[in-house]
Structure 1
């Protein structure tokens, strides 16, 4: 998984929502978009980049960071069950 590409995509999503006048609505919009349209392994990789910012090489925008921190529980995929 290309973490730099994921952060770049998340930053572009953040740029779109950052123009909204209501900051809380914008932050929730970023999180909702990532939760709805990104597959679990993409979300895991993005959350891992949040936890280890020096490893990615590209800066995560403030709105994306805020969305990931505030909505981390909703964004964290459930672990696959082993039957």
Structure 2
């Protein structure tokens, strides 16, 4: 395990200590949890963007898309808890 040093303004350190105390954690545990959450979010964002790029490339290559009305009907049914058939992509 390695060590990283961060420098905090006094006000931020006070806020950090207060926030950590409010949730029953040490400042160290609070910082580790915050870092883990931020890293996870960045990883999820990157995966989302990669998937979007992949799908956009497929649309450009095939010209196939799902009509908005079909997509809206499908999503509305799913939001209501109904089982719905996925609409198919068409040129």
> Does TM-score exceed 0.5, indicating one fold?
no
Larger RCO (CA within 8 A; separation ≥ 6): 1
With the length of structure 1 as denominator, give the TM-score of the two structures: 0.31
Counting helix residues as a fraction of each chain, which structure ranks higher?
A: 1
With the length of structure 2 as denominator, give the TM-score of the two structures: 0.28
Q: Rg: which structure is higher?
A: 2
